[in-house]
Structure 1
């Protein structure tokens, strides 16, 4: 087996692993009733953008579009498809291992180019029809984006991937400031028509990323760093997919031992009145607010659904998606409640009691209120205000 065969074998294994994870949360019911309709709706919405730009794009300045794509620069890595056992078996064959690493890095470059092409096709109707910019400028814009993403990925590949928490945050500040400066300079150059300067920035970003990757590309002595990057990327993907399904039992993340939690360190009572209903509510509030995974999951579900409602132009699609969103959010809240309260050894024996049922109903109603208010604002109230105040 040569290096190319080994590389594609591992890429195939990687995709099989991802497919297996996705299958655990997407069954045939979800595929038929959610994924397929969402894909069909997306196609019709995209076609409508070529006919007439959506109304919401009028309030999106070009600078905001640049800011949105700046946030899309982060999260990628140059993968080499190294495995832990390679230190024993593959490291003896330096040529085979180095060839696989080089192939993985080159494929990572090409994958980011394909991502840029997809995003360019996605926003091309808005770029050409609404902003009235040329196709050449669109190509240069995504040339800047993908080259700067290469550079950010290369810089992150040189940093210590084991740093967590505030140390990782402090270390990331210079990277964000540097990338932001290049992105701002690119915005000014593109806006002023300095296409030659934009082209030079693309070339310099590409060259800088290659120089930073030179050691990983030419030697096998970066094995530990390569392995850490690949494992981090793999675990991040797994956590993201599993985070979409609260029904899948996940191993608890290791946390530093503390003498007392940050919130409710003295077991403060939230409700003065003691009742079974308030007891269940207090348990749920403390368990969810002490673990950011649940808070983050709630805002992710809320944010994604609300964003989809805003971007869908027809009113009937907004109302349909809002109804589906209420149903999905209700199921998600019920899953979290069951995991924290309903399946706990100390509380599951009370699952049929009135206090348990009322507590769950109150939690569901309270967490649905922000979503319902946002949907009402977007579907009826804001268009009504806009009809009287066109500038709003």
Structure 2
């Protein structure tokens, strides 16, 4: 079998695996009552962008749209579908493996063309309302985003195989800043002059070909490549199983160098059982960078959704997202309570309800108050951000009480139940 056919076989196998993963959580009820209405709302908002400029876009400068495009370019990963058994070919069939990697990189390049086209189509009405760009400029933008996304993905993939975590983070941050400045500068200057974008895209294409040749001939990174591939393959499966409470992540409990609460000082002066429980949950959340990133992403998506929605829909989404954040916090709580050490501190049936309320209030309001401020600004202006803080706090407290009553009524003490 040729390397090209073997790569396509690997890709098809991974696609089927991801399909089976999502099939476990998306049935016809979820698709009918959640996905279909969400798609209908998004399509309606997108068509409205073509008719008139959205209210949240008017105060933003044109360069912010270019920065938004770069954030979309930065997302994603570059998969080569390498497996542990491929180490055998490294010694026996070096040229075969090089052709396999070359096929994977070319496949990723074509895939990024489609992703870049999606980004261009998504931002087209916004650029049209803000700067009235021409069709040749849109085509130039697509080609520019395509080549920029290909180079960014290839460099990010190279940074993932670095052995020292600290240097990896430093180089990733430096590359993000440098790439962002370069992308915004070239993209903003090329809005009125498509020749600038075509020239920059040609240069990036040459850089990508050179980096691809270097990547194909690179050796000594197979272990890091395989670890990266396994992480990407199981990313959504781990996320779904973790949120469902099937997997117990040690990172809930262990963080050697936390950014927040680095010392085990007391948050509450009074050390009751409820305060000890709430303090442990809050500290473990803030000491877990992965949870903070996921929670920030959820709040960011919800904030963007309420900002771009019309006035009549914004308040309904605000209440809906309060419940959604509550479900997220409850999922984290249940994963925390499922750990074996938890049963040492709080035996079955002895979890204080007040501890749940304290921890739930802090984690829920952490994301819901900024969301409430985001609802108030486009609805009532600058003063709306101020008076939405107490309104958001009151709505958040109602959500907390709702989930506290819900958890009490479930009657599952080994997972999340409380004494009646």
Structure 1: 5+ residue stretches without partners: none
Contact in 2 for aligned 1:158/1:212 (Cα 8 Å): no
Moved more, 323-332 or 364-373: 364-373
Indicate the SS of the match to 2:265. coil
Q: 1:342 to 1:249 in 2, by over 3 A?
A: closer
**Any unmatched runs of 5+ in structure 2?**
385-420
Instruction: Indicate yes or no: 2:203 matched with 1:165.
Output: no
Once the two structures are overlaid, the 10-residue window that deviates more, 222-231 or 331-340, is 222-231
SS at match of 1:163: coil
State the superposition RMSD in angstroms.
Answer: 3.3
CA distance in 2 between counterparts of 1:133 and 1:259 reads: 50
Q: Does residue 1:210 correspond to 2:188, yes or no? A: no
SS in 1 for 2:92: coil
CA change 1:46–1:227 in 2 (3 A) is: farther
**TM-score, with normalisation over the residues of structure 1?**
0.83
Say which is worse superposed, 120-129 or 361-370, in terms of deviation: 361-370
Q: CA deviation at 1:25?
A: 4.3
Structure 1: distance between partners of 2:68 and 2:84: 37
1:346 corresponds in structure 2 to 344
- How many residues are treated as equivalent by the alignment? 380
Q: Deviations over 1:73-113 (max 9, x none)?
A: 33555443322202225863455434332221111110110
Q: Provide the C-alpha distance between the structure 2 equivalents of 1:159 and 1:241, rounded to a whole number of angstroms.
A: 24
Closer, same or farther in 2 for the Cα pair 1:334/1:205, shift >3 Å? same
Aligned pairs (5 A) from 1:1-392: 1-76=1-76, 78-88=78-88, 92-94=92-94, 96-159=96-159, 161-172=161-172, 175-176=175-176, 178-191=178-191, 193-217=192-216, 219=217, 222=218, 224-225=220-221, 228-229=224-225, 231-236=227-232, 238-239=234-235, 242-243=238-239, 246-250=243-247, 252=249, 267-312=264-309, 314-341=310-337, 344-349=342-347, 351=349, 356-380=352-376, 382-385=378-381
CA distance in structure 2 between the partners assigned to 1:260 and 1:375 by the alignment: 29
Deviations 1:302-332 (A, max 9, x none): 22212211122x2332222222211221122
**Deviation per CA, 1:269-294, whole angstroms, max 9, x where unpaired?**
32222322212212212322222233
Structure 1 residues 169-219: Cα deviation after superposition (integer angstroms, max 9, x where no partner): 33335534542453244135314x3432322111011011101111344x5
Structure 1 residues 23-32 or 56-65, which shifts more?
Answer: 23-32
